[in-house]
Amino acid sequence: MTDNVNAVTRATEPDSLEALPRALDENSALHGLHAQILDLLGLAICAGELPTKSVFRIEELEERYGVSRSVVREAIRVLASMGMIASRRRVGVQILPESDWNLYDPQVIRWRLASPARISQLRSLTELRTAIEPEAARLAATRAPLADASELMGLAGKLWAAGQADDPAEFLILDIEFHRLVLASSGNEMFAKLNSLVAEVLTGRTNYGLMPEHPHNDALQLHVDVASAIQRGDAAAAQTAMLGIMERAFDEMSSIWADGEPG
Q: Render pLDDT for 104-157 as a digit per residue (tens, 0 to 9).
A: 999 999 999 999 988 889 889 999 999 999 999 999 999 999 999 999 999 999
* Angstrom distance (rounded) from CA 135 to CA 132: 6
Q: Return the DSSP state at 86.
A: E
What DSSP state is assigned to residue 213?
A: S
User: Could you tell me which residues come within 8 angstroms of residue 159 by beta carbon, excluding any fewer than 6 positions away?
Assistant: 171, 174, 175, 178, 215, 220, 223
In whole angstroms, how large is the CA radius of gyration of the chain? 22
What strands, in cross-sheet order, belong to the sheet with 85-88? Answer: 55-56, 92-95, 85-88
Q: Is 168 helix (H, G, I), strand (E, B) or coil?
A: helix
Identify any residues that bridge with 56 across adjacent strands, giving them in sequence order: 93
Beta bridge partners of 87: 93
Q: What is the pLDDT of residues 54-100, one digit of tens each?
A: 999 999 889 888 899 999 999 999 999 999 999 988 889 999 999 99
